[in-house]
Structure 1
Amino acid sequence: MKSKILLTAILGTLFFGSCSDVLDRPSLTTAEDDTYWNSEEKVRLYANDFYTNFFVGYGLGYGETAYTPNSNYMFNDDGVIKSTQGQFSRSVPTSKGSTSEGLMWESQFTGPTWNFAWIRKSNAMLDRINDRMSGVLTEEQKNHWLGVGRFFRGLEYARLVNVFGDVPYHEHEVKNTDKDELYKDRTPRNEVMNHVYDDFKFALQHVRLNDGDQYLNRYIVASFVSRWALFEGSWQKYHYKNNEQARKFFDLAVESADMVIKSGKYQIVTDFRSLFGSTNLIGAKDVILYRKYDAGQGVTHSVASTCNMNSPTDQGPNLDLIKAFICTDGKDWKTSGVANAKDFSLSNLIKTRDSRFEASFYQKPTPMAKSCYLYVTKFIPRSALEYLKTGGTPAPEFQGDKNTTGYPVMRYAEVLLNWIEAKAEIQTLGGPAVVQSDIDLSVNQIRNRPIADEAKALGVVPTAPMKLSSLNDDPKRDSDVPALLWELRRERRMEFAFEFSRIIDLRRWKKLNYMDTDANPDLLTGTWVNFPTEAKGELVAANKDKLRVKTADGSFVVFDGTNASKMVGFFYPKENKGRLPFLNIPNVNPYLSPIGTNQIIDYANKGYKLTQTEGWPSTNN
């Protein structure tokens, strides 16, 4: 059952009034709290408050809080900015939300700061249900809502651990008078995540299969469990070398994804672009959870406007991402047998690469994408760009902050890719081998999705199925990554470009070295442009000494006003600057975010100790 998330006034916000410096906790000591917990509907209203925090979609108005093609979600190895690239923090901030002393990676994507308000809120819900509603709710109702509360608690702890590693664990609401609990130090990561495991298992057993069209159900729960269990399994394997704990969470990822797959409710039946360009995803079998926007209710966003080809952008895809797209024979571009596989002109890439390439980018090089000449159009319907053929400007609903296209918060494709990656990881730990039927159910179902008629007209064809017997052997593959896992990681990169996934994936795989711009110049390079034939209008005096391309042999050509015929190569503006070193620096841990020194000092002033994040100094040096 799909879930629509509508922005509504939630009664539960009455309990979100006062916050402390430690837990930022909502007050639940009011008269309203004493009389509130008297019906299932009241519990539902309270729980609704979680939705817009955890399932943000495209955000609201100009407040882009979702995973979208702006500077925040280019912070990985997929994107380039016409500027100095986003930096990892190299110093400890002063306060928990500060980025003034250097960008913390956790500020680059939707994720929690050192704030436990949502833990407090979920614990308050669980405590009230257990302590006050035994005679109000039936056993089934009680277990369902305990499952909902435990799911959101587990989800928030998984997110906090994702950012900070060890975090203080609270199983119940913390009272203002309980200073030892308020100011407790961090709980070891494994202990926290074992609690999360238990919360997720309970939710998978007790949350209803169907609780109505707008509400959490077991399949939504299972989908998110598959995401965060896969993350934790990977972290345990690659960072801690704890294969027992890794296997535990990989097994949970498979179990939860299995629940969704075996339900038979979901399929890959929609062309890729339509998943992001529709105003109504009701009935879409590819989507498990979505956020709906409605101009009549004033619930709109601005993300489609970033893809309207009418607004110049400093951000865009880099050559490293372009090269990652698989050819239509299922091989990488260096080993592919597809004709012209090494021709990087956009018209050829559209014909020779996986269909997700054409669905994600505009079909011609354009100076509107100032960093790379390749413009992201993934998050706007094809029809919205028809104005480019006739002239004029985009329709009003695709300008500014008036967009109403829906956001697929959780897609079935993600569940399939979580499932198959977890199974492949289990194989590396001595578990059952992945078989061809597993690949057919997951990767090949995704590769076989419908292709839009507009794409077919440009020469787009389906990608060949993945075959275990003839798996691609990419010469670029890391020696420590088996070929199957390498190709599954490629599938994620193509599927989720500019969405939620890439920076989290790099971290859990312990592969942030992929973001080292000194080691990989393709991170700063754009798409192939034949200026004399594709962008002749740019070869003007005003662009003398400004336009630059990198030829196939790696040499640079700068437009000098007389060499127009030589301006053929990968666009590489001089303004694209690399990021500072961030690996192997003492007291800098790019994989986890530090907490502010003010929090540590506050604890100390009250006689308690708060330990700094692993790999960071307790004070600024």
Structure 2
Amino acid sequence: MRNLKINAKIKLSVLALSLAGLSFSCSDFLDTPPKDIFTDSNFWTSENNVKTYSWLNYDTFLGYGNNSGTTADFYFHNSNNFDDNLAMNVFTTFNTTANATNANWNSYYTLIRRCNLMLERVPAVSMEEAKKNHYLGVAKFFRAFSYFRLAQEFGDVPYTDAYLNQDDAKVYKPALSRAEVINNVIKDLEEATTLMLPIDDKNITVNKYTAYALLSRVALYEGTNRKYNLAQPGTQYLQKAKDAALAVMNNAAYKLNPDWKSLYNSLELLNNTEVILGKRYLRGVLGNSIQAYTNTSTVQSGLSKFAAESYTTINGLPVKQIGGNAEYLGDNTITNVFANRDPRFAKAFGNVDYAYSDKPLNGLTSITGYVFQLYNNPAATGTEVTTIGQNQIDAPIFTLSEVYLNYAEACAELGTATNADLNLSINKVKARAGIATLTTDGSNASVGGIQINDPQRTSALEQISGVVSPLIWEIRRERRLEFMSWTSLRKADILRWKKGDYLDGTKNPDVLLGARIPSLIGTASKTKVDANGYVIPYTVSRTFIAPKHYLSAIPTNDISLFLAEGVELKQNPGW
């Protein structure tokens, strides 16, 4: 049944492709009317056609990537999307010059055009009113998601909420400010929550609670981005983030799954109570390559020293707790490193031995020595593990765990966090992980009656852009560990907190180091280590330049196209 259903979706999607407005530039997607055997007048005739058209929107969720592709939200890196957790097996750094085109810019605007057409045509389609409203909400959801990502990546961007004809004077107009774009995104999402059905096709299509989950993400982003990057009040957005998260948390249908790892290594996330929205993969229809890249002779991307030291011990204390942490046994051996640590550490990375070019482990090597194993599933065998494009584990897109941590962070940033708030949110995540839960006096954080005092929180690195309270620090730590390898989410967090310096090898040397292997000191091994025995994965470093690298460059082709129409599309600072 599942196979037939998905194949039917693919066939119908091909028919609807004529209305997708696929393009290669912002101007093209605004200008070009759809062409094919279907016309605009004969397609919008039934609920089934509307549903088919809406399926095209889901390609925007990258998940683990498509087939052999490595453009994904997890694990894989490129010059526009890398974080401080995983060192890519091939060195990655920031773009230095503006590119003529940008794939994200093109694909987001293509989706926006589809959504604007959908919003214009659906009201005239004969269908049940509740379903009509739902699909209007679906269009608003995807339009909001696309504009949100545009604003995150590019700042001020052209904005239109109408499906425009080629000769419309509004096709080319100055970019709208990032703040106004985000306000429109929030407006779309708030309207979507009132229009969409509470559930539609289980957790593989968007619904009212997916809209609330995205709203909590967007509003948290805006509230913290304003506070840390713009020195502006973000209170109203933080309150929206808290309220939207609570709407999901109050839905008893959503519950944390007992096994954290199962979110990332399951062959089937359908009906998983923690997954608000998932991306499904199926043999012969759609695969990914996430397992193949971590289970074959390809050198793995590896955990950085900077990330490894962020894992607390089971008692909830940081490894360098001022005053000491008896549970932490140091890093002289891999046994000591993993002893008494947050159980998610050993679920994501192998704790038996390090693996590197001089000494593979079961055929595997890692650029930093830490063997990545989060995606391993014993039920998956053969080519479904080892062959690029044939892996079938499903990917989480929105989860209850993220919503819980959105809520906790919003409360902490508002300065209103209570122990009841922590128990309602972050402590559920920590308890599931198997580590001690937090208490707070509103600013400080404690575990088991001991106040957390992490020297990293007030280090020179943190003081570059500003030190945060112990409670906010611990909530940020929890996001990092809970979503380890969720590259796009971590990168967005780093930038909204104004912590781009985390990615700079000079300001933060630990981001370009790996496991400690003292036996390699002074040897002629191919794997190089520093004087203390920490693996050096690269012979080059990277520099984060502010404000340049907080935003991507506006594609120069589009700047030229707009200029030809008498409209200046300004380039971002530093580019």
Alpha-carbon displacement from aligned partner over 1:316-371 (angstroms, at most 9, x marks no partner): 11100000111111111011523344345322232221111011101220114342
Q: What does residue range 144-293 of structure 1 map to in structure 2 within 5 Å?
A: 144-178=134-168, 180-213=169-202, 214-243=204-233, 246-293=234-281
The corresponding residue for 1:305 is 292
The question of 1:467 aligning with 2:469 is answered: no
Match 2:541 to one of 578, 592, 606: 578
The corresponding residue for 1:611 is 570
The corresponding residue for 1:594 is 553
Give the CA deviation at 1:545. Answer: 5.5
> What is the TM-score normalised by the length of structure 1?
0.81
Q: What does residue range 168-567 of structure 1 map to in structure 2 within 5 Å?
A: 168-178=158-168, 180-213=169-202, 214-243=204-233, 246-295=234-283, 297-308=284-295, 310-313=296-299, 315-335=301-321, 336-343=324-331, 345-363=333-351, 364-367=353-356, 368-382=364-378, 395-401=382-388, 402-427=390-415, 433-449=416-432, 462-468=434-440, 470=446, 471-477=451-457, 478=462, 480-499=467-486, 500-531=488-519, 544=524, 546-550=526-530, 555=531
Aligned length: 536
Q: Is the Cα–Cα contact under 8 Å of residues 278 and 381 in structure 1 kept in the other structure? A: yes
Letter paired with 1:606:
E
The question of 1:126 aligning with 2:126 is answered: no
Instruction: Flag the 1:346–1:86 CA change in 2: closer, same or farther, 3 A.
Output: same
Question: Secondary structure of the residue that 1:249 maps to in structure 2?
Answer: helix
Q: Is the Cα–Cα contact under 8 Å of residues 23 and 116 in structure 1 kept in the other structure? A: no
Q: Distance in 2 between matches of 1:274 and 1:264?
A: 20
The corresponding residue for 1:535 is none
- Structure 1 unaligned segments of length 5 or more: list them: 98-106, 385-393, 428-432, 451-461, 533-537, 557-568
Q: Is the Cα–Cα contact under 8 Å of residues 313 and 340 in structure 2 kept in the other structure? A: yes
Q: Is the Cα–Cα contact under 8 Å of residues 92 and 616 in structure 1 kept in the other structure? A: no
The structure 1 segments of at least 4 consecutive aligned residues displaced by more than 4 Å after TM superposition are 4-7, 111-115
The corresponding residue for 2:360 is none
Q: Is the Cα–Cα contact under 8 Å of residues 300 and 372 in structure 2 kept in the other structure? A: no
Letter paired with 1:466:
L
Instruction: Flag the 1:115–1:196 CA change in 2: closer, same or farther, 3 A.
Output: closer
Q: Distance in 2 between matches of 1:299 and 1:311?
A: 24
Deviates more, 1:603-612 or 1:204-213: 603-612
Give the CA deviation at 1:115. Answer: 5.4
Question: Secondary structure of the residue that 1:408 maps to in structure 2?
Answer: strand
The corresponding residue for 2:63 is 57
- Structure 2 unaligned segments of length 5 or more: list them: 357-363
Give the CA deviation at 1:208. Answer: 0.5
Instruction: Flag the 1:487–1:570 CA change in 2: closer, same or farther, 3 A.
Output: same
Deviates more, 1:411-420 or 1:249-258: 249-258
Q: Is the Cα–Cα contact under 8 Å of residues 18 and 35 in structure 2 kept in the other structure? A: no
Q: Distance in 1 between matches of 2:275 and 2:24?
A: 38
Q: Is the Cα–Cα contact under 8 Å of residues 80 and 315 in structure 1 kept in the other structure? A: yes
Letter paired with 1:412:
L
Alpha-carbon displacement from aligned partner over 1:131-162 (angstroms, at most 9, x marks no partner): x33xx244433322221111111111101101
Q: Distance in 2 between matches of 1:531 and 1:209?
A: 57
Letter paired with 1:301:
N
Q: Is the Cα–Cα contact under 8 Å of residues 114 and 595 in structure 1 kept in the other structure? A: no
Letter paired with 1:96:
T
Instruction: Flag the 1:547–1:35 CA change in 2: closer, same or farther, 3 A.
Output: closer
Give the CA deviation at 1:415. Answer: 1.0
Identity %: 29
Give the CA deviation at 1:29. Answer: 6.7
Q: Distance in 2 between matches of 1:61 and 1:415?
A: 29
Alpha-carbon displacement from aligned partner over 1:198-256 (angstroms, at most 9, x marks no partner): 1111011120002233432111221122222211221122122221xx22222221122
The corresponding residue for 1:44 is 51
Q: Is the Cα–Cα contact under 8 Å of residues 278 and 406 in structure 1 kept in the other structure? A: yes
Give the CA deviation at 1:39. Answer: 2.0
Instruction: Flag the 1:113–1:482 CA change in 2: closer, same or farther, 3 A.
Output: farther
Match 2:101 to one of 96, 99, 106: 96
Match 1:23 to one of 24, 27, 31: 27
Give the CA deviation at 1:417. Answer: 0.7
Q: Distance in 1 between matches of 2:139 and 2:21?
A: 20
Letter paired with 2:417:
V
> What is the TM-score normalised by the length of structure 2?
0.87
Letter paired with 1:577:
V
Letter paired with 2:10:
T
Give the CA deviation at 1:593. Answer: 0.9
Alpha-carbon displacement from aligned partner over 1:509-540 (angstroms, at most 9, x marks no partner): 111011111122211211122548xxxxx99x
Q: Distance in 2 between matches of 1:599 and 1:155?
A: 21
Q: Is the Cα–Cα contact under 8 Å of residues 524 and 577 in structure 1 kept in the other structure? A: no
Letter paired with 2:553:
P
Q: Distance in 1 between matches of 2:420 and 2:329?
A: 29
Higher Cα radius of gyration: 1
Q: Distance in 1 between matches of 2:378 and 2:261?
A: 8
Q: Distance in 1 between matches of 2:41 and 2:303?
A: 54
Q: Distance in 2 between matches of 1:162 and 1:187?
A: 13
Q: Distance in 2 between matches of 1:74 and 1:127?
A: 34
